[in-house]
Amino acid sequence: MGSLGDAGSAKIAAMARKIIIDCDPGIDDAVALCMALFDPRLEVLAITATAGVVGSDRANANVRALVDLLDPPRYPRIGTALPSENAPVADDNDLHGPDGLAGCHFAVTDRQHWHTSDKVIAEMLRLHPGQITILCCGPLTNLARVFGRDPATVSLVDKVVICGGTYLSPGNRTPAAEANMHYDPPAARDVFASATTKSLIPLDVTERVAFEIDLLESLPAKRTRVGSLLHRIVPYSFRAAHEYLGRESINLADPTALLAVLEPELFEWREVAGDVETQGILTRGATVFDRRSRQKWQFNMEVATDVDAAEVRERVIRGLRFAGQQT
């Protein structure tokens, strides 16, 4: 992604894909926002917070702080998270720090009242019917609330891209479940069952895109806004991966899912019939697919089954460098 002339920039801006990013920041969420907010191929209409990696209050603070710090050329609408009635008791902050963003506790200067995430999503869908891709980087609480409270919005979505779940691999939150699905399984089940076009980017794929420690040398310069943020939070990921997972590399699931929005040809896809377990003591949040020889469930989404990992790594780095050039 190199520099663009004025005419080229205007043409790309006119063709930009409208997107809402629903997230629970999260270090990898923050990296994805750095890419998305400065990519001319995207018009980020809104960033909506959801509880997940951190609770709802902290998720709200993190979204506001990130937008403040990055100061993008076009400010998105911001939606605030509400607590989920289905949330598990235990948190899962080890890989992200106590505040979700490497323990930096970024200050929030904007204290004005914001609308709730589900309300912002519904409003945007009605303003731009059939044009919006919703990238879900956290639990699916907000989208389930939108569809549950206003079923007419289901037909207004262009596409939902979900970062989460597993296809054939084990989970990362429990042996059976990936963290986003485990946090709010009833919401995930409702979204899976909705009559929307859905693409699932599971752990099977995101864990194949590994970044080594030399990623730190490829980040934008610290003097840029994007670089300053990334140099504060990304090293924490490497330390946490070493301490808690015994790994020397990290995965950036949400930037990988963003690439699935922008460049789906880098992935291999399969039509599937999927559901989510909501009540199992050992299987809460497990994503289940009908792989019987005589399949009885109807296809309801596509799942990424493989990825050009080297190319995705390169394009994530390129996207971050481009973002750094803009700040």
- CATH number for the domain spanning 287: value is 3.90.245.10
Per-residue pLDDT of the chain (327 residues; tens, 9 = 90+): 544 445 455 555 568 999 999 999 999 999 999 999 999 999 999 999 999 999 999 999 999 999 999 999 999 999 999 998 888 866 667 899 999 999 999 988 766 668 999 999 999 999 999 999 999 999 999 999 999 999 999 999 999 999 999 999 999 999 999 999 999 999 999 999 999 999 999 999 999 999 999 999 999 999 999 999 999 999 999 999 999 999 999 999 999 999 999 999 999 999 999 999 999 999 999 999 999 999 999 999 999 999 999 999 999 999 999 999 999
pLDDT of residue 109: 75
The CA-based angle 193-196-201, given to 5 degrees, is 80
The dihedral over CA atoms of 161, 23, 187, 304, expressed in degrees to the nearest 10, equals 30
CA distance 174 to 283: 8
CA distance 69 to 102: 15
What is the number of structural domains in the chain? 1
Is 235 within 8 Å of 103 (Cβ atoms)? no
H-type alpha helices, the chain: 6-14, 27-36, 56-70, 117-127, 141-149, 179-183, 185-193, 203-206, 215-218, 225-240, 253-262, 309-325
- 2 upstream amide cis, omega within 30 of 0: no
Tokens representing 244 are 């808690």
Please report whether residue 318 resides in a domain.
yes
Please report whether residue 186 resides in a domain.
yes
- Using the structure block, give the residue that is written with the tokens 């890419």: 35
Please report whether residue 61 resides in a domain.
yes
Please report whether residue 16 resides in a domain.
yes
Please report whether residue 1 resides in a domain.
no
Please report whether residue 180 resides in a domain.
yes
pLDDT of residue 4: 43
CA distance 226 to 81: 25
Tokens representing 134 are 């919703």
The CA-based angle 272-277-281, given to 5 degrees, is 150
Tokens representing 300 are 């309801």
pLDDT of residue 14: 64
Q: For the whole model, what pTM was predicted?
A: 0.95
pLDDT of residue 112: 66
CA distance 279 to 268: 31
210-211 and 132-136 as β-strands: parallel, antiparallel, unpaired? unpaired
Please report whether residue 163 resides in a domain.
yes
Please report whether residue 305 resides in a domain.
yes
pLDDT of residue 12: 52
Residue 285, domain extent: 6-325
pLDDT of residue 89: 62
